[in-house]
Structure 1
Amino acid sequence: MTSALSIRDMVVTYDDFAALDHVSFDIGTGESFGIVGESGSGKSTLLRAVAGLAAFDKGSLSVNGRAYSGRHRDRNFYRTVQMVFQDPYGSLHPRQTVDRLLFEPLAIHGLDNVDARIARALDEVGLGAGFRFRYSHQLSGGQRQRVAIARALILEPKILLLDEPTSALDASIQAEILNLLEQARKDRNLTFVMVSHDLGVISHMCERLAVMRGGKVVETVPAQALEKREFSADYTRKLMAASEGFRRS
């Protein structure tokens, strides 16, 4: 399996604090890869470093064999890699209509057939043409996240970075959004990198996962290991037990 994303010895520091400490892994083309760990383990920092939102100080990053530096990302990168953020309330500009939010990336990248692309993107996320000229404050949280996903998909990327994409939503909406993402992955042969604190979400959506603690990867296991309790690290076992305890309560 060829690597869509390869990270080697990535280090991110803030005032001498190592938020990422020599993190390495490869993610195959078309794979859905999860990243789990307690708050402050470095999960979101890793996604932000890949996306260029946080600079990495050491190590290497390559996307489909092309190397990228600590912070610089070119236009080709953003045609290939897009990110969906945790908070659909904060990720959409409140003074722009849905139409404008979807038009902007198309204009930046000089893509044509704008109307058809916007209509297709809205249809793919289950929003009809009636949503096109609404503002984000006129949408529910689930509808806003659908717009955020449409904006990420409209450039036809190959890799989606998903930072807790359902944690800010009501439980009744979470499954709808996860099913939408999974269908998009199948239809487009997308590669997913998904951060979540919810091991249930990761085991449902991902084929492999990395367990992080203190900026380091503790271990990388198949998702089936969560069900079979086949871990080599005590920390993973404790994380699983804590997650199950939280659900029971």
Structure 2
Amino acid sequence: MSTVLSVQNMSVRFDEFLALDDVSLDVQQGESFGLVGESGSGKSTLLRAVAGLNAFESGRLAVDGKDYTGKRRDQDFYRTVQMVFQDPYGSLHPRQTVDRLLLEPLVIHGFGDVDQRIARALDEVGLGSGFRFRFSHQLSGGQRQRIAIARALIVEPKILLLDEPTSALDASIQAEVLNLLEQARKDRGLTFIMVSHDLAVISHMCDRLAVMRMGKMVETMPVDALRRREVKADYTRELMLASEGFRRK
């Protein structure tokens, strides 16, 4: 299995605050990798630095064998890497129809057969063609997040960055969206890097995980070790106890 995402010694600073401190991470093709930690631990900052939304002052980034250290992200990068954000209300333009939201990335990346691709994208996320010409304010939170996922998948990426993709949704909808994502990963051979505060979600969705605290990696482990409570760091043990809904399996 080849490495599709490599982060080496990455640091991110906001004014005097060191948000990410010498972080290294390798993710294999087809893997689902989780990032957990308390608020402010640096997990979302790491995801945004990979996506190009935060600049990193030191370190290296390679995606799909191409080095992006100190370089502006290009069109190939954004075709390879897509991101789904936490807030389905803030990530969709309120004055654009679903059709326009899905058409824009296809035009940017030069895809043809746009009608068929939009119809297929809506079907893949469990929404029919009846949603195509609705505005985002006419949709529920779960439907909006499905559209956000469809928009990310429509350009056929290899890597999906998922920043708490279900935390803003009702519990009954969360499971549906997580199952949708897992099915898309299997069908497309996608690689996931998923941020969550919920160890139960990570345990369900991921193969490996890294625990973060104060901008640093505390430890990395297979999810099976988490389920068996075979953790090394005291902080990870505390996180397990504090995580609501986490149960030993």
- The amino acid of 1:236's aligned partner reads T
Moved over 4 A (4+): 244-247
Deviation sequence 1:98-145 (CA, Å, 0-9, x none): 000000001111110000100000000000000000000100000000
Written as runs of structure 1 = structure 2, the 5 A alignment for 1:156-171 is 156-171=156-171
Q: State the partner residue of 2:103.
A: 103
| Contact 2:199–2:246 (CA under 8 A) maintained in structure 1 | no
Q: Which residue of 1 aligns with 2:63?
A: 63
Name the structure 2 match of 1:220.
220
Equivalences for 1:79-98 in 2 at 5 Å? 79-98=79-98
What is the alpha-carbon distance in structure 2 between the residues aligned to residue 164 and residue 77 of structure 1? 22
Structure 1 counterpart of 2:145 = 145
Partner of 1:183: 183
1:144-164 C-alpha deviation (Å, 9 max, x unpaired): 000000000000000000000
Are 2:27 and 1:30 equivalent residues in the alignment?
Answer: no
Distance 1:208 1:72 in 2: 29
CA RMSD of superposed structures (Å): 1.2
| Residue 174 in structure 1 maps to residue 167 in structure 2 | no
Deviation at 1:15, TM superposition (A): 1.1
TM-score (norm 2): 0.97
Conservation of the 8 A alpha-carbon contact between 1:94 and 1:135: yes
Instruction: Give the Cα separation in 2 of the matches to 1:53 and 1:71.
Output: 13
Contact residue 8 and residue 60 of structure 1 kept, 8 A: yes
Do the aligned partners of 1:53 and 1:71 also contact (CA within 8 Å) in 2? no
Q: Distance in 2 between matches of 1:246 and 1:194?
A: 17
Cα shift at 1:17: 1.3
Structure 2: state its 5+ residue gaps. Answer: none
2: CA distance, partners of 1:240 / 1:48: 25
Ranges in structure 1 where 5+ consecutive residues have no aligned partner: none
What percentage of aligned pairs have identical amino acids?
77
Conserved? CA contact 2:198–2:244, under 8 Å: no
User: What is the one-letter code of the residue matched to 1:104?
Assistant: E
Kept in 2, the 8 Å contact 1:52–1:71? The answer is: no
**C-alpha spacing 1:246/1:210, structure 2 compared with 1 (3 Å):** closer
Between the aligned partners of 1:189 and 1:172, the Cα distance in structure 2 is 26
Structure 1's 13 and 178: CA in aligned 2 closer, same or farther, altered over 3 A?
Answer: same
* Aligned partners of 1:142 and 1:177 also within 8 Å: yes
Task: Report the Cα distance in structure 2 between the residues aligned to 1:246 and 1:61, rounded to whole angstroms.
Answer: 33
Instruction: Please report how far the alpha carbon of residue 245 of structure 1 lies from its aligned counterpart in structure 2 after TM superposition.
Output: 7.8
- How many residues align? The count is 247
Matched residue of 2:46: which SS?
Answer: helix
Matching of residue 113 in structure 1 with residue 110 in structure 2: no
- Whether the 8 Å contact between 2:34 and 2:195 is mirrored in structure 1 is yes
Counterparts of 2:14 and 2:100 in 1: how far apart (Å)? 35
1:71 & 1:91 partners in 2: Cα distance?
25
In the TM superposition, residue 69 of structure 1 has moved relative to its aligned partner by 2.7
Q: Are 2:5 and 1:5 equivalent residues in the alignment?
A: yes
* 2:233 equivalent in structure 1: 233
Q: Is contact 2:200-2:246 (8 Å) kept? A: no
- The SS at the match of 1:236 is helix
Q: What TM-score, normalized to structure 1? A: 0.97
Q: Bigger shift: 130-139 or 70-79?
A: 70-79
2:104 aligned counterpart, secondary structure? helix
The one-letter amino acid paired with 2:37 is G
